Structures are given as C-alpha cells and as structure tokens.
Amino acid sequence: MTMAPPLMSPSDPMLGVDPEHGTSLWRGAWRRLRRNPVAILGALLVLAFVLIAVFASALAPYAANSREWASEVTLTSVPGPREGNLLGIDRYGSDLYSQLLYGARQSLIIGVVSTLLGLVVGAMLGILAGGLGAKVDMVVMRIVDILLSIPSLLLAVSIVAVLGQNRYAVMIAIASAQVPVFARLLRGTMLSQARSDYVLAATSLGLRRRTIVMGHVLPNSLGPTIVQATLNLSTAVIEVAALSFLGLGESDPAVAEWGRMLVAAQDRFASSPQLALWPGLAIAVSALGFTLLGEALREALDPKGRR
C-alpha cells in the first residue's frame, strides 16, 4: 500500500510514553490521579484510617471499654490527658485514645460494607433500568423514586426499628439510603452513553445486545458511579455516627463507637470538651479523606481533563 501517509509522526506526543502499549483511559486516569496532590492527601487520610481500623488492637495501649479508671470519673469531671492516657479518660473510665482507635474499626466496616451493598444493589437496578429497555426502566425507576422520596435518615431509622438494633441492620439501613443514588446515576449515564455513535456502531456491527450493554455501555458509564461511591463512603461514615448518636447503632456496649462517644460527651461538654472534640475530629477527618479522594477521582476520570 503505497498511498498510506506516514503514521505516528515523531511529533506525536503520545509516542514517547510507551512504545509497546497504548494508554487506556483507566491507565491515563491513574496517571493523573498519582500526580494530583489532593488525591495524595485524600489517599493518605484514607490509608491512615484503614490502617488504624485494621491494627487497632496492636496500636491501642488498652483494651476497648476496659473501664480501668472508672473510680476516677466523678459526676462533674473526668481525668484529662496525662502520662499513660494520651487523651485522657472517657466518662465510663476507659482510655479515650484506645476508644478512638477501636472506633475507627466500627466506622470503617459499617461504612464500607453499607456503601458496597448500596453500590451493588443500586448498580444492578441501574443496569436493569438502563440496559433492558423502556418498560423495565419505567418499573425500576418508579420503585427507586419511592425509595428516594423518603428522607434517608428517616428510612434508616425505620429499617433499624424493624430489623432490630445490630450492626447488620445499620448496614442495610445506610445501604438502602444509597441504593437510589447509585441506581439513578448509573441509569442516567448508561442512557446517555447508549445514544453515542460507538453504540450505534456496535449495533451495526451485529454485536449481541448483551455484549453492547455489558461491554460497551457499562464500562463507559462506570466513572461517575465510582466517584459517587467514594464520596458516599464519607457520608456513610457520618451516618454510622449519626445513627449511633441517635441510639440506633451497635447495641453491644463493649464495642467502641465514635457516634456513641459523642453522646456520652454531651453532658460533660462544658467541663471536658476533649470528650466530644476527638471523636468529632475523627469522624470529620475520615470523611474528609474519602471526599478528597472522590473529588480527585472525579477530576481524573473526567473526559474533559484528557489531553
């Protein structure tokens, strides 16, 4: 073929990167993510949160809810920071620092599991609605609309009330508030992707509908949903605390819980503000980590950011 023009001219900016393999969109996003300081900060916060949760028993100087210093707690005051107790003693007589470390475990497990649950169920509904045609779409989206019309905390409270007070109920409660968000988001992206030229091309090539939905439409629609899942992790961490603050969280008193620590701090807030400060800060910082990571992910996956 003599009429072929010179290809891949040396001025091609992508040439220098990797002569053997092209750069897929995911790989490009990963490269942008690694260069983004916001992403690094978010990742570090999340990493610290995860490490603390996993290694809480090794990091914490004392057991959770040991109540070793219960005799020192009086009606009006608790012992503050001192030798051996870095952050002082909580109102039940346990080491506040150890409680805080163990609390990360609860927030992380419930937060991650409930978000994953919400993501999986929501994504399945979204794929059904976005991939199976107008009638299925109509039915699924009306169900989702009903779910969405109930305020999320109210929904969570009712689910815990029905299922009883345990961590699984909390997970289901938080997840069910997230399902409609993921379902709508994924459906919307899939429907808009389904109108694009490459889907038309796939149809004209004679690909099966299943291949088109799962192999073309879905992979191109996942970006916003993944971003939303990361952002939702922060909401979930806050909701875990909110539910236990309302007394609907973990029922086992031996388990350390940031939300419950806030409740306990309430009546001594004036004399011992550190009791509320530290768990509050822990909730805020861990949520911030997920938010920063999610925002950076959004930037990295945004097709407009592609050069």
Measure the CA–CA gap between 68 and 90, rounded to whole angstroms: 11
Of 93-101, 115-123, 139-147, 208-216: span binding another protein (CB under 8 A)? 208-216
Contact call for residues 67 and 101 (beta carbons, < 8 A): no
The window from 8-16, 68-76, 123-131, 286-294 that contacts another protein (CB under 8 A) reads: 8-16
Rounded to a whole number of angstroms, the minimum distance from the CB of residue 133 to another protein is 14
Q: Following DSSP, what letter does each residue of 124-186 receive, concatenated? A: HHHHHHHHS-HHHHHHHHHHHHHHHHS-HHHHHHHHHHHH-SSHHHHHHHHHHHHHHHHHHHH
Shortest approach of another protein to residue 139 CB, angstroms? Answer: 16
Do residues 245 and 237 lie in contact, with contact meaning Cβ atoms separated by under 8 Å? no
Of residues 165 through 204, those in contact with another protein by CB under 8 A are 196-198, 200-204
Spatial distance between the Cα atoms of 301 and 156, rounded to a whole number of angstroms: 31
Residue from 91, 105, 184, 216 binding another protein (CB under 8 A): 216
Identify the residue among 178, 220, 225, 230 touching another protein (CB under 8 A).
Answer: 220
Instruction: Please identify, using beta-carbon distances, which residue of 99 and 189 lies nearer to another protein.
Output: 189
The correct pick among 61, 81, 215, 305 for binding another protein (CB under 8 A) is 215
Give yes or no for residue 7 binding another protein (CB under 8 A): yes
Report the chain's terminal Cα–Cα distance, integer Å. Answer: 32
Q: How many other β-carbons are positioned within 10 Å of the β-carbon of residue 40? A: 15
Of the candidate spans 16-24, 82-90, 131-139, 270-278, the one that interacts with another protein by CB under 8 A turns out to be 16-24
Residues 6+ positions from 204 with CB-CB distance below 8 Å: none
219 touches another protein (CB under 8 A): yes
Q: Is 25 a binder of another protein (CB under 8 A)? A: yes
Can you name the residues that pair with 89 across neighbouring β-strands? 95
Give 20 or 83: the residue with its C-beta nearer to another protein: 20
Distance CA 72, CA 167 (A): 31
Q: Does 55 bind another protein (CB under 8 A)?
A: no
Q: How far apart are CA 119 and CA 123, in angstroms?
A: 6
* CB 199, min distance to another protein, A: 8
Binding flag, residue 134, another protein (CB under 8 A)? no
Token pair recorded at residue 284: 């805020």
Decide: 110 and 51 in contact? Cβ < 8 Å.
Answer: no
Q: Which is nearer to another protein, 75 or 304 (CB)?
A: 304
Give the interface with another protein as residue ranges (CB under 8 A).
1, 3-5, 7-8, 12, 14, 19-26, 196-198, 200-208, 211, 215-216, 219-220, 303, 306
